[in-house]
Amino acid sequence: MQALIIKEVRGFAGSLIGHVTAVVFLLLTGLFLWVFPDNLLDLGYADLAPLFQLAPWVFLFLVPAVTMRSFSEERRNGTIELLLTRPLSEGAIVGAKYIAAVVLVAAALLPTLVYVWSVMELAVPEGNIDRGGTWGSYLGLLMLGSCFAAVGVFASSLTDSQIVAFLIAVLLCFLLFMGPDLVASFDAFGAWEGPIKSMGIQAHYRSISRGVVDLRDVLYFAGVATIFLLATRTVLQSRRW
């Protein structure tokens, strides 16, 4: 399993799309944080909120780009059967692909710690930032990315086309992130607005971003990821039926 994780990480890190997605993520977050209107310097106070508001939308496309090759490439190259004959269960194979995707998501987040250091240096007095909210937001981003990774791996198991896998993953991630909020915005649901919103990723991401880690939010993210990983395993097992 460890060898498969390393293979997946190396395969993506060594590909052109791997470098492009990482550069695009850092470029977009950097521009919105320091260059575009309403950036940190214009606002005049040490707050990384613009980063954490933008990052989920970038992840909506970045994570599917990371995961789209997970099984699609194996199916297209005809190596999926060889992979399934290894002394690993379908669950272990899915888990390895998923862990590799989460490692890559975490690696994309690491360079943004430079932004945290920069804001702490610019703050008056120095270091005066909301550390609880900042680290909570990073934890929320990592959990959100983990959920998107599970969705992306599932989408990749459905088709041998990386583009189709990417589009399916983006659609599913968008529905999970914004779908409940859009449904709850209809007046017809009235008192059900709160419970409906709580079904979406965005509500739980916002909750963790406040700096308070609620067990319900952690269980929600873990539950969503588990559902899609089990669905992926079922798709792989169906090839034996």
Q: For the segment 219-238, what is each residue's pLDDT rounded down to a tens digit?
A: 999 999 999 999 999 988 88
Q: Which of 67-81, 102-116, 178-192 has the lowest mean pLDDT?
A: 178-192
**CA end-to-end span of the chain, whole Å?**
24
Residue 181 and residue 197 in contact, taking contact as beta carbons nearer than 8 Å: yes
Average pLDDT over residues 207-218: 82
pLDDT tier, 37 (very low <50, low <70, confident <90, very high otherwise): low
Position 125 scores a pLDDT of: 67
In this predicted model, which residue has the larger pLDDT, 18 or 136? 136
In this predicted model, which residue has the larger pLDDT, 15 or 136? 136
Instruction: For residue 210, count CB atoms less than 10 angstroms from its CB and return exposed for 0-12, middle for 13-18, buried for 19 or more.
Output: middle
The per-residue pLDDT for range 149-201, each reduced to its tens digit, is: 999 999 998 988 889 999 999 999 999 988 877 777 766 566 666 677 778 88
Position 236 scores a pLDDT of: 84
Average pLDDT over residues 86-108: 85
In this predicted model, which residue has the larger pLDDT, 204 or 132? 204
Percent of the chain at pLDDT above 70?
A: 84
Structure-block tokens of residue 96 = 């390895």
**Whole-number Å distance between alpha carbons of 66 and 61:** 9
Q: Provide the residue type at 142 as one letter.
A: L
Average pLDDT over residues 88-105: 86
Q: Provide the residue type at 90 as one letter.
A: E
Contacts (Cβ under 8 Å, ≥6 apart) of 17 = 65, 69
Average pLDDT over residues 73-82: 76
pLDDT tier, 133 (very low <50, low <70, confident <90, very high otherwise): confident
